[in-house]
């Protein structure tokens, strides 16, 4: 994984720092690092091991372990060489056995008394005071750094340990913008404002001491290490990683390059395996809350008027505040409170998620129950439809086939009306009240009509018993002679009672109170009609009956054919020509 610099070159996002590495073991350490996959080495003239690093690189190139173009090598200009930039760079190239540097940095923003190119001897004066060269400005030093690019000695140039204001000044007076600002930054010393300022202006941030003083050496790093933080330990346990891997991953996700230092071969692989997982947004915010403004890398200290100098210099703008150590305890207490609050929040979130899951399960169970209910209702409706269809078919069948269960009357030629035997055949179906009421109204209306006398009685054969299909007011054309041996007493389909209410019509027997055709009854021995209509248009039975009654009252002999031409001529129409 690489990051592109403003110079156009790519720099691996994970590197290996070689500060304070022992000369005896540095060769094996670098060879093993290259085998693991490291392609970024961070050196400096002040580390006093450039020659040993050069020997390891030469061996790696000769054995084909890696090519020069595949490595990104950084080294730094020391404070005492600010007035001899080109000579110092060539000296570093010679020790590293390289033709060019990928990145050359100004190690600290201060120029001290020159002690010789390539040397990092003490810059303390005879009086014990740090001897600062006031004749060399940072701007002059930077313009000499720019010459290295045009000479082809370096590809990119940058700064180190510059704050916001010094970085701003460098951007203002530079012709070639600094590609990198290497600073101390870790969870306890995050420096967000400086990091964001650099990234906003295209300056890549490299984090030295990215593990926050893992050795907790009082001389250089103070006494507190972020690797002992309980919150970071919980995050590491969550991802099944070490605290160091979590801290390095946090730096990478801030878009900073990390260059952890280790002299232990077993830690090389651990520090490099930080690209196979990613911290969540919540975990990034949690680590962000751990910032204590606690600087661990202290190249020089000034306390109680005394100055301690070990070949390094730290300017006053970059010093740790004196009250910081006193605030460490308060910071730890506050951190515990914050962790407690975060733990409560996480517990509440977990409970909420469990409740949401339970709700989803309940909703799913409810939906399944509703589907089963709908299916059962559908099956019930289907069964009801089938039942209703069966009932309708059965009722229709019963209405057409049932016989009378109650007695009626028949006509006796001599004695009048007498009882009719009760017949038991099929059970009667229930007639709906509204249907029966309608039929009774029609029957009453029909009975209320005044009709003529029964013309068929006069012409009926002697000794034959005829039954009428009306109880009282009879229409003479509708007498039916029944043979008791071959026919049963008819049942009125409208009223459900045994009565002679059938007459012979077109196609079979017809009820006198409805127009239902009942062709299942056989024809009578004697024709129902003593008269027939010949010619003319069709006329209903009632109209024809009234016509016959009127003709009989006017004296026409209906026992023989009657020519109605004169009759219809008088009435202005011609419906039937002849009645016979």
In a domain, 102, yes or no: yes
Instruction: Please indicate whether residue 511 or residue 331 has the higher confidence score (pLDDT).
Output: 331
Query: What's the rounded Cα separation, in Å, for the pair 186 and 251?
Result: 7
- What's the whole-number mean pLDDT along residues 327-345? 70
- Taking the alpha carbons at both ends of the chain, their separation in whole angstroms is 121
Query: Can you give the pLDDT at residue 247?
Result: 94
Highest mean pLDDT among 178-187, 401-410, 492-501, 534-543: 178-187
Query: What's the rounded Cα separation, in Å, for the pair 92 and 107?
Result: 13
The per-residue pLDDT of the chain, averaged, comes to 74
Domain shared by 333 and 281, yes or no: no
In a domain, 68, yes or no: yes
DSSP 8-state assignment for residue 427: P
- What's the whole-number mean pLDDT along residues 294-301? 65
The residue segments making up the domain with residue 268 are 2-320
Domain shared by 230 and 291, yes or no: yes
In a domain, 54, yes or no: yes
Q: With DSSP H G I counted as helix, E B as strand and the rest as coil, what are the percentages for the chain, rounded to 5?
A: 40, 15, 45
- Of 488, 511, 527, the residue that ends a domain is 527
Domain shared by 512 and 536, yes or no: no
In a domain, 313, yes or no: yes
pLDDT greater than 50 at residue 522: no
Return the structure tokens found at 440: 């009774």
Domain shared by 375 and 407, yes or no: no
pLDDT greater than 70 at residue 109: yes
| Positions marked active-site | 47
pLDDT greater than 50 at residue 56: yes
Domain shared by 310 and 409, yes or no: no
- What's the whole-number mean pLDDT along residues 376-404? 81
- How confident is the model over 444-472, as pLDDT tens digits? 556 555 444 444 444 444 444 443 433 33
- What's the whole-number mean pLDDT along residues 326-354? 75
In a domain, 166, yes or no: yes
Query: Can you give the pLDDT at residue 116?
Result: 82
Domain shared by 380 and 423, yes or no: no
In a domain, 498, yes or no: yes
Could you give the number of structural domains in the chain?
Answer: 4
pLDDT greater than 50 at residue 563: yes
Q: 111-125, 241-255, 328-342, 374-388 — which is least confidently predicted?
A: 328-342
In a domain, 200, yes or no: yes
Domain shared by 408 and 383, yes or no: no
Domain shared by 369 and 470, yes or no: no
Q: Is residue 256 exposed (0-12), middle (13-18) or buried (19+ Cβ within 10 Å)?
A: buried
Domain shared by 384 and 407, yes or no: no
Closest CA to 74 of 176, 148, 2, 182: 182
Domain shared by 252 and 332, yes or no: no
Domain shared by 169 and 196, yes or no: yes
* pLDDT band, very low/low/confident/very high, at 493 (cuts 50, 70, 90): low
Domain shared by 265 and 374, yes or no: no
In a domain, 397, yes or no: no
pLDDT greater than 70 at residue 203: yes
Q: 97-106, 125-134, 523-532 — which is least confidently predicted?
A: 523-532
pLDDT greater than 80 at residue 200: yes
């Amino acid at each position: 994984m690489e990051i592109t610099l403003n110079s156009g070159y790519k720099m691996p996002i994970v590197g290996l720092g070689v500060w304070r590495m022992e000369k005896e073991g540095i060769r094996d350490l670098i060879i093993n690092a290259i085998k693991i996959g490291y392609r970024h080495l961070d050196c400096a003239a002040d580390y006093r091991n450039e020659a040993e690093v050069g020997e390891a690189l030469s061996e790696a190139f000769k054995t084909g372990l890696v090519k020069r173009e595949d490595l990104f090598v950084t080294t730094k200009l020391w404070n005492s060489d600010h007035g001899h930039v080109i000579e110092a760079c060539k000296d570093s190239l010679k020790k590293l056995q390289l033709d060019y540097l990928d990145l050359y940095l100004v190690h600290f923003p201060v120029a001290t008394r020159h002690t010789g190119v390539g040397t990092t001897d003490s810059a303390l004066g005879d009086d014990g005071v740090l001897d600062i060269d006031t004749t060399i400005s940072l701007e002059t030093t930077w313009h000499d750094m720019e010459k290295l690019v045009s000479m082809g000695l370096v590809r990119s140039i940058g700064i180190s340990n510059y704050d916001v204001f010094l970085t701003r000044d460098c951007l203002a007076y530079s012709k070639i913008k600094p590609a990198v600002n290497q600073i101390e930054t870790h969870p306890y010393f995050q420096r967000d404002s400086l990091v964001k300022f650099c990234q906003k202006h295209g300056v890549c941030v490299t984090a030295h001491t990215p593990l926050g003083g893992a050795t907790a050496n009082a001389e250089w790093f103070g006494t507190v290490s972020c690797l002992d933080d309980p919150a970071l330990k919980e995050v590491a346990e969550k991802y099944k990683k070490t605290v160091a891997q979590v801290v390095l991953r946090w730096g990478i996700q801030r878009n900073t390059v990390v260059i952890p230092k280790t002299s232990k071969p077993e830690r090389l692989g651990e520090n490099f395996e930080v690209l196979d997982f990613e911290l969540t947004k919540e975990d990034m915010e949690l680590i962000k809350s751990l910032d204590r403004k606690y600087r661990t890398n202290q190249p020089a200290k000034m306390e109680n008027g005394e100055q301690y100098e070990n070949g390094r210099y730290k300017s006053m703008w970059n010093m740790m505040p004196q009250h910081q150590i006193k605030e460490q305890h308060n910071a730890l207490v506050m951190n515990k409170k914050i962790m407690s609050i975060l733990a409560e929040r996480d517990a509440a979130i977990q409970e909420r998620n469990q409740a949401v899951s339970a709700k989803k399960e309940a909703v799913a169970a409810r939906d399944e129950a509703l589907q089963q209910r709908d299916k059962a209702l559908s099956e019930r409706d289907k069964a009801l439809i089938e039942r209703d269809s069966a009932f309708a078919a059965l009722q229709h069948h019963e209405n057409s086939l049932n016989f009378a269960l109650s007695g009626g009357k028949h006509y006796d030629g001599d004695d009048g009306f007498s009882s009719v035997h009760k017949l038991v055949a099929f059970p009667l179906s229930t007639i709906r009240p509204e249907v029966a009421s309608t039929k009774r109204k029609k029957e009453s209306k029909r009975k209320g009509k005044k009709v003529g006398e029964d013309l068929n009685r006069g012409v009926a054969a002697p000794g034959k018993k005829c039954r009428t299909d009306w109880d009282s007011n009879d229409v003479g054309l509708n007498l039916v002679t029944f043979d008791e041996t071959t026919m049963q007493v008819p049942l009125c389909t409208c009223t459900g009672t045994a009565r002679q209410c059938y007459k012979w019509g077109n196609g079979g027997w017809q009820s006198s109170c409805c127009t239902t055709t009942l062709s299942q009854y056989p024809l009578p021995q004697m024709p129902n009609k003593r008269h027939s209509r010949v010619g003319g248009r069709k006329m209903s039975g009632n109209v024809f009956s009234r016509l016959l009654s009127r003709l009989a009252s006017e004296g026409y002999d209906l026992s023989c054919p009657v020519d109605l031409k004169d009759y219809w001529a008088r009435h202005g129409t011609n419906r039937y020509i002849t009645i016979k």
